[in-house]
Structure 1
Amino acid sequence: MDSGGDKHLRNRKVHYSTNRTLHIATFNTRSLLSQERLTELECEVENIKWDVIGLSEVRRRGEQLITLKSGHNLYYAGEEDKSIGGTGFLIHKRHNANIVSLKKISTRVICLVLKLTARYNIKIIQIYAPTTSCDDEEVDSLYDDITTALTDKQTQYTIICGDFNAEIGMKQDTAETSLGNFGLPGRNERGEIMLDYLLQNNLFQMNSFYKKILNRRWTWQSPDGRTKNEIDYIITDKKRIVKDVTVLNRFSMGSDHRLVRAKVVIDIDKERHRMVKKRTDKRWKRPADIEGFQRTIDDRLAGCDANSNEDVNTLNDILTSAMLESQNKYCPKTQKEEKLSHSTRQMIQERRDLRSKGIVANNELKEANKKVAKAIRRDIRAFNTGHIQQTTEDNKSMRVMRRKLGIGKKHIIKLKTKQGITTTNREEILKTVEDFYQTLYTSQNEDTLNSSTKPDIVTVKKGVVNQGSEELPCITID
């Protein structure tokens, strides 16, 4: 009997995709100091394709890696004693297991290394250049820091992105191989310095290689809206991996900058592609109502005859459809806690639409930004108040409440090894911590382990009544 399947399935060649696509962006946020601004950023990234976003002017103090409630990782490096400048990365949660290292070169230059396969890595450098009001010494120091980041850990691919505060324009001479034929006209002194650096290091400013309309070219506008410049760039050492660079007009956070995004496509050999282990958390969750789950499948398959002449592919589709329907109905789903109300999200969408139109009064856009900021602040306060009340009513730990109200989970970003060397490599950090706890919990008294005598009995006179209590139990050895 012909089952209708493919008789030559074993002879079929399996084609593995050798392309890795990454959407790498850069954005000057103007500030991520408050929780409201961070929530607004998380809301905006839900509407675009992205893998890594380099951030300028985060204005957060110190250096920290935090896993946000959304699952994405936020890394930032700023001044220790003042909330100015600073850079950061927002890394999509799908890459959490692929972070090799995060390193602060300075508050203006940071470096991220992502693992593509077992053998291939990509380095992403985010920068925030001094403004034109700063002296040339700060600019020279910036490019020295970029050189340090480039030479620090050699990888197969490199991307440099950020706010360069320089107008470089388009190619003016055939010798300017680092530039393409497109861009806004004009080049200033900082643009000349930037071009010299690109030529010396064989780097390519990829914004200039793709033709865009003028409205999709500029990345910064003055407060009065009259002056528009292109000063945020995507740069790479291998021109072939960048397939497009575009400015996203619909991404809006009230900043005077616009988000610039590059589509990076890397072709990797098939054998090396097979070595990639994609870690996903899509485990099947047990239905709360097993009988209902089975009953739904039986009802869907009631009119189906296994002895019919239908081919195996049709029967497979019917069975799959029945199981998916039952799973969606009975298997529990993880509900994401929403800080923003529906009305606030609607306001953000209206502001996004307003920005996308292009022709809008500057005062009207400012008013929209104020309304959105006020609504986000109100929603976060209501969210925090609700959690505090619920924690109080349930008589739960204040420590758990503070963890829920925080922006995410903090991580160790650098650690000293046994040899006294400070490392930022994630694998080395984990290995150092693992060795420490293994040594800590390993018995040092071999005689006690090998002894055949019975161990001393530990008697607790008074146990700890509450885990939150700071009183220690009285312990004696009989």
Structure 2
Amino acid sequence: MEHNWFEREVRRMGESITCYPDFLLYQIGETQGQYGVGFIIKQHSKQYVKEFIGISERIAILNMKLPGYKKLWSIVQIYSPTEQSNSVTINNFYQNLNEAIQKHTHENLIVMGDFNGQIGARRSGENAILGQFSYSNKTRSKNGEIITNFALESKLTILNTMFKKNRKSMGTWISPDGKTKNEIDFIMTNRNSYFTNFTVIKRFNFNTNHRLIRTELQINEPKKTRPRQDLRNIKLNEQQLEQITTALRTELRDFEENTKQLETQDKYNYMENAIKTQIKLIADTKMMQREYYQQPL
């Protein structure tokens, strides 16, 4: 089982929460028929909702405590100004977005919505924010430059690019005449390793030229693995070297007897493992001591 996140844009007036038989609708909008954002929460998931925060008709935040995760998730729904908007409008939007993230979001973060820009192919130095599966090789648009800069500064990965899909299925916007497709809706996160899939849903009975986009989050928080130590970079003092020497003398005392049936390579491996084991024991002791002394009194 996985959590599914959908991009949702609404165009209704005012701010409200409406309960329906199967879902909960939160929406905020100020300009009739033009702007607005919101969230649809299934009834069985509304118990996990902590709060809705309406920033503007272009930005809304949902904070949730998901089962299987220790810390809260923040989902920021946005509707960016178009490419034709003036620079003041665009800059104000991203300034408001950055302030909203700093003030109202938690450690686990998703930013999603209609970004109204094309990011094109991944460039050098963008591996942290873009995967290898771009929708098109079109030139990155003006808004696309701002989108990727925002992702870099916020340390967010664009999930659209992380999973291999049929290129024909990746477009998120279709022109009214059906001849032009673009990818301008994105889902970003600072926890990309927690997600298992991204999908553009082609068929959805709703009056819009945007396609619904969906990502899937693992039902339980992945366990963090302890980073492997590089034994070649461990610095030992004279006392520690003496400890290793003494331990190896004991360990290899019966080396000939224990390895007389082994081939030369196996004897080498036996000795190498004995040395590495002793070094690791010393290194782990150093780590435990450092963690102990760093604890607050």
Q: Quick check: 1:196 aligned with 2:149?
A: yes
Q: State the Cα deviation string for residues 180-221 of structure 1 (Å, max 9, x = none).
A: 111222211110111111111111111011111122110111
Structure 1 CA distance for aligned equivalents of residues 203 and 183 of structure 2: 17
Q: State the Cα deviation string for residues 293-349 of structure 1 (Å, max 9, x = none).
A: xxxxxxxxxxxxxxxxxxxxxxxxxxxxxxxxxxxxxxxxxxxxxxxxxxxxxxxxx
The corresponding residue for 1:106 is 56
Q: Quick check: 1:25 aligned with 2:6?
A: yes
Local SS of the residue matching 2:100: helix
Structure 2 CA distance for aligned equivalents of residues 256 and 175 of structure 1: 30
Which runs of 5 or more structure 2 residues have no equivalent in the other structure? 224-297
Equivalent residue pairs, number? 220
- Equivalent in 2, 14, 17 of residue 65 of structure 1: 17
Structure 1 CA distance for aligned equivalents of residues 91 and 17 of structure 2: 28
The structure-2 alpha-carbon separation of the partners of 1:67 and 1:163, relative to structure 1 and needing over 3 Å to count, comes to: same
Letter of the aligned partner of 2:12 in structure 1?
R
The answer to whether the Cα contact below 8 Å between 1:105 and 1:148 also exists between their aligned partners in 2 is no
The structure-2 alpha-carbon separation of the partners of 1:64 and 1:254, relative to structure 1 and needing over 3 Å to count, comes to: closer
The answer to whether the Cα contact below 8 Å between 1:109 and 1:127 also exists between their aligned partners in 2 is yes
Q: CA deviation at 1:176?
A: 4.6
- Equivalent in 198, 207, 217 of residue 245 of structure 1: 198
Which runs of 5 or more structure 1 residues have no equivalent in the other structure? 1-19, 27-54, 271-478
Structure 2 CA distance for aligned equivalents of residues 189 and 221 of structure 1: 20
Structure 2 CA distance for aligned equivalents of residues 120 and 242 of structure 1: 16
Structure 2 CA distance for aligned equivalents of residues 261 and 201 of structure 1: 21
Give matches, 1:404-415, under 5 Å.
Answer: none
The corresponding residue for 2:174 is 221
Letter of the aligned partner of 2:16 in structure 1?
Q
Q: Quick check: 1:182 aligned with 2:94?
A: no
Query: Which shows bigger deviation, 146-155 or 257-266?
Result: 146-155
The corresponding residue for 2:118 is 167
The answer to whether the Cα contact below 8 Å between 2:119 and 2:148 also exists between their aligned partners in 1 is yes
Structure 2 CA distance for aligned equivalents of residues 212 and 268 of structure 1: 25
The answer to whether the Cα contact below 8 Å between 1:252 and 1:258 also exists between their aligned partners in 2 is no
The answer to whether the Cα contact below 8 Å between 2:63 and 2:105 also exists between their aligned partners in 1 is no
Structure 2 CA distance for aligned equivalents of residues 132 and 216 of structure 1: 23
Structure 2 CA distance for aligned equivalents of residues 220 and 212 of structure 1: 16
Local SS of the residue matching 1:233: strand
Tell me the percent identity. 32
Q: CA deviation at 1:82?
A: 3.3
The answer to whether the Cα contact below 8 Å between 2:194 and 2:221 also exists between their aligned partners in 1 is no
Q: State the Cα deviation string for residues 208-243 of structure 1 (Å, max 9, x = none).
A: 111111221101111122211000111001111111
Structure 2 CA distance for aligned equivalents of residues 180 and 244 of structure 1: 13
Structure 2 CA distance for aligned equivalents of residues 268 and 230 of structure 1: 29
The corresponding residue for 1:276 is none
The corresponding residue for 1:85 is 35
The corresponding residue for 1:231 is 184
TM-score (norm 1): 0.44
The structure-2 alpha-carbon separation of the partners of 1:82 and 1:221, relative to structure 1 and needing over 3 Å to count, comes to: closer
Structure 2 CA distance for aligned equivalents of residues 164 and 91 of structure 1: 22
Structure 1 CA distance for aligned equivalents of residues 47 and 5 of structure 2: 18
Letter of the aligned partner of 1:218 in structure 2?
G
- Equivalent in 76, 83, 87 of residue 27 of structure 2: 76
Structure 1 CA distance for aligned equivalents of residues 168 and 221 of structure 2: 35
Structure 1 CA distance for aligned equivalents of residues 174 and 33 of structure 2: 23
The answer to whether the Cα contact below 8 Å between 1:120 and 1:156 also exists between their aligned partners in 2 is yes
Structure 1 CA distance for aligned equivalents of residues 106 and 12 of structure 2: 29
Q: CA deviation at 1:71?
A: 3.6
TM-score (norm 2): 0.70
Give matches, 1:67-466, under 5 Å.
Answer: 67-68=19-20, 70-79=21-30, 82-117=32-67, 119-183=70-134, 184-186=136-138, 187-268=140-221
Q: State the Cα deviation string for residues 413-444 of structure 1 (Å, max 9, x = none).
A: xxxxxxxxxxxxxxxxxxxxxxxxxxxxxxxx
Q: CA deviation at 1:260?
A: 0.6
RMSD value, Cα? 1.9
Local SS of the residue matching 1:267: coil
Structure 2 CA distance for aligned equivalents of residues 169 and 269 of structure 1: 31
Local SS of the residue matching 2:56: coil
The answer to whether the Cα contact below 8 Å between 2:110 and 2:187 also exists between their aligned partners in 1 is yes
Letter of the aligned partner of 2:86 in structure 1?
D
Local SS of the residue matching 1:22: strand
